[in-house]
Structure 1
């Protein structure tokens, strides 16, 4: 698996990123109505070029996972279902950890798999709050080098 940061996102890459983003949110957040993710897809598509996007690419050149950073904030980390549990999320996170001294993210409390993943990777829960749009409890999690 090749890990690299995208310079400019082309249309093919954008389609791959958005497909992984939508499927990942629907899979991981079944406690949030699917319409929420579908309605937010256009805003995410618009914001992706403004983030630093690091991708995992398989030997066929297909993006199979990505992490999006806005400065030190992890806006999302997604791996296509077929490629989960193969260490790709860890590789993406390790890649950005080498470039940052602090990382912050928000994870829904009910997304226990994500919370455990980030805790295993050195993140600690800094704050617990209710997210305004979904009304779900979320954790702000922080990692320091």
Structure 2
């Protein structure tokens, strides 16, 4: 008696599962779950990359800004080296941009725009004040990324 009861229930469940509307619903549920898992894996990867690379990139950014500040004392003579340091800083910022989010990302994007504008001016149109502004932008980005690193240390 029990076996036939279980067999009938299994038959009804099977009929329900292979029905057209159920298979469509389960397919939709599977798609939603797959998308959710994909975004979760992406966020985990992004967070892991940030924790691994951001401190080193932040140090590189600080080193480039320090080098620019040192070269600023004789700005006219060191303009090519300053432009090289700014170019390298932009690449570091672009790398950081892909690993951060929120306000820090907005700050880094804005700094990249301003530093690229600085590079487009050319060496003949560059003044000491413009170099000082580029240096300040690097310091602002560095502080923003450092704050993001500190925030992520506190929060898991």
TM-score tier after normalising by the smaller chain length: under 0.3
Higher strand share: 1
Higher helix share: 2
Which has the higher relative contact order, 1 or 2, with Cα contacts under 8 A spaced 6 or more apart? 2
Name which one, 1 or 2, has greater alpha-carbon Rg.
2
